[in-house]
């Protein structure tokens, strides 16, 4: 096991290629994150900072702080952060710079994940500007790396063998997802098939056998055989949207979410306009969700649930677009944002989704939902 201490230097940063182009558009934002009604946990260092922040702004901050079960939060009022000023600006940033923000506000719309001496930056599509940057391009999303002397935020222990196997798995999954000679549904079918085959290897600690399995899926004749097997299952296909029940059963964070989901009850699974209007959006979404979550399997040992999660989220975006008659990029960005907000921003919801997806039945549900093109 690697045990790393806070303050270690020369860390590697890894982030999607568009990440550095992001700039908050504040007053022009259609879905300002300070208006989401989020209860924001404040880290200890910032609790102390805010307690001593000079008035009059200090008094406003302290009025906004609320202690629940021993944890301090910035609490919204009528769904809005009480500090928010006209023009969508934060007075704390204006007065003292970004460092004055607590960790959650400072990192949004990014998710920071640390594995040994690597910090990965992933993006939250709940921010419309980040979603626009992430999903509008036609080139495949790539990841960039650089070294930094920023300190680790906390020590972390990971099993290096498992972690490196997961990196190999992720690299393969992203290559597969970006293999544009196959249609996107075939790519997802192969991903699901791969997830089912690779999980037992991780369960048994047979990390060295991941490479031959990847080779099996990469080598053309074998890959074709795997694909054929998925087509037999997909022929049974059904228009029942199993994902809707799961998504409906989660704790809802936004008022309009249930209504958006309701529209997905009756519509058939097939439709081609989204693929024609924005042929890369599903690929980009898969890349981002797989890129973020596959390495997190180092925490619970379940890479199959992470791959199923990415397919579920992508197919939910597609279904929402189809059922609302809005098969276009702008609506896909909006639906990806709603899903990110409802699922990824709630630890309880994420845990429930992973628990549910650990059933092998979900392999079948998801496979049958993939159209044959």
Structure tokens at 271: 């439709």
* Residues contributing to the site for ligand SF4 (CB under 6 A): 24-26, 29, 31-33, 88, 109, 127, 129
Please, is 140 exposed, middle or buried when counting C-beta atoms within 10 Å of its C-beta (0-12, 13-18, 19+)? middle
Residue 36 C-beta: closest distance to ligand SF4, Å: 8
Residue 264 C-beta: closest distance to ligand SF4, Å: 25
Question: Residue 240: which of 204, 215, 265, 211 has the closest Cα?
Answer: 265
Kindly tell me which of 38 and 331 has the beta carbon lying closer to ligand SF4: 38
What count of residues does the chain have?
373
Kindly tell me which of 88 and 301 has the beta carbon lying closer to ligand SF4: 88
Asked if 233 and 364 touch (Cβ cutoff 8 Å), the reply is yes
Asked if 359 and 352 touch (Cβ cutoff 8 Å), the reply is no
Kindly tell me which of 4 and 29 has the beta carbon lying closer to ligand SF4: 29
Kindly tell me which of 129 and 243 has the beta carbon lying closer to ligand SF4: 129
Residue 18 C-beta: closest distance to ligand SF4, Å: 14
Residue 142 DSSP SS3: coil
Residue 146 C-beta: closest distance to ligand SF4, Å: 23
Residue 146 DSSP SS3: strand
Kindly tell me which of 105 and 201 has the beta carbon lying closer to ligand SF4: 105
Kindly tell me which of 13 and 25 has the beta carbon lying closer to ligand SF4: 25
Asked if 38 and 89 touch (Cβ cutoff 8 Å), the reply is no
Question: What is the residue whose two structure tokens read 């096991």?
Answer: 1
Asked if 317 and 274 touch (Cβ cutoff 8 Å), the reply is no
Residue 26 C-beta: closest distance to ligand SF4, Å: 5
- The C-alpha atoms of residue 65 and residue 148 are separated, in whole angstroms, by 33
Residue 86 C-beta: closest distance to ligand SF4, Å: 14
Asked if 273 and 327 touch (Cβ cutoff 8 Å), the reply is yes
Residue 48 C-beta: closest distance to ligand SF4, Å: 25
> Which one-letter DSSP state was computed for residue 341?
I
Residue 349 C-beta: closest distance to ligand SF4, Å: 19
Kindly tell me which of 128 and 223 has the beta carbon lying closer to ligand SF4: 128
Structure tokens at 81: 């952060």
The CA distances from residue 141 to 18, 80, 247, in Å, are: 8, 33, 27
Residue 10 DSSP SS3: coil
Kindly tell me which of 25 and 57 has the beta carbon lying closer to ligand SF4: 25
Question: What is the residue whose two structure tokens read 């900072």?
Answer: 49
Residue 167 C-beta: closest distance to ligand SF4, Å: 29
Residue 291 C-beta: closest distance to ligand SF4, Å: 20
- The C-alpha atoms of residue 362 and residue 197 are separated, in whole angstroms, by 14
Structure tokens at 267: 């519509």
The b/e string for 269-288 (b: 16+ C-beta within 10 A; e otherwise) is bebeebbeebebbbbbbbbb
């Amino acid at each position: 096991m690697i045990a790393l201490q806070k303050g270690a230097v020369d860390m590697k940063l890894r982030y999607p290629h568009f990440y550095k182009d992001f700039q908050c558009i504040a007053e022009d934002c259609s879905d300002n994150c300070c208006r989401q009604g989020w209860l924001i946990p404040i880290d200890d260092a910032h609790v102390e900072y805010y307690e001593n922040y000079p008035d009059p702004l200090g008094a406003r901050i302290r009025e906004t702080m609320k202690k629940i079960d021993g944890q301090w939060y910035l609490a919204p009022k009528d769904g809005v952060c009480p500090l928010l000023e006209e023009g969508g600006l934060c007075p704390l940033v204006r007065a003292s710079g970004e460092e004055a923000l607590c960790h959650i506000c400072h990192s949004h719309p990014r998710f920071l994940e640390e594995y040994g001496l690597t910090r990965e930056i992933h993006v939250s599509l709940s921010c419309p500007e980040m979603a626009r940057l992430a999903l509008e391009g036609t080139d495949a999303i790539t990841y960039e790396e650089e070294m930094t002397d920023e300190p680790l935020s906390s020590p972390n222990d990971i099993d290096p063998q498992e972690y490196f196997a997961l990196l190999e798995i992720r690299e393969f999954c992203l290559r597969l997802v970006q293999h544009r000679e196959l249609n996107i549904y075939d790519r997802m079918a192969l991903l699901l098939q791969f997830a089912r085959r690779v999980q037992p290897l991780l369960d048994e600690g047979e990390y060295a056998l991941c490479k031959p399995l990847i080779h099996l899926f990469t080598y053309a004749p074998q890959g074709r055989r795997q694909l054929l097997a998925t087509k037999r299952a997909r022929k049974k296909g059904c228009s029942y949207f199993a994902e809707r029940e799961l998504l409906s059963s989660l704790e809802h964070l936004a008022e309009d979410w249930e209504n958006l989901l309701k529209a997905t009850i009756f519509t058939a699974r097939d439709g081609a306009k989204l693929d024609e209007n924005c042929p890369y959006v599903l690929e980009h979404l898969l890349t981002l969700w797989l890129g973020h979550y596959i390495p997190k399997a180092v925490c619970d040992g379940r890479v199959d649930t992470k791959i199923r999660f990415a397919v579920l989220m992508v197919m939910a975006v597609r279904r929402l677009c189809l059922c609302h008659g809005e098969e276009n990029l702008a609506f896909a960005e909006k639906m990806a944002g709603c899903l990110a907000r409802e699922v990824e921003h709630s630890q309880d919801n994420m845990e429930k989704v992973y628990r549910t997806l650990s059933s092998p039945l979900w392999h079948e549900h998801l496979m049958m939902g993939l159209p044959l093109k």
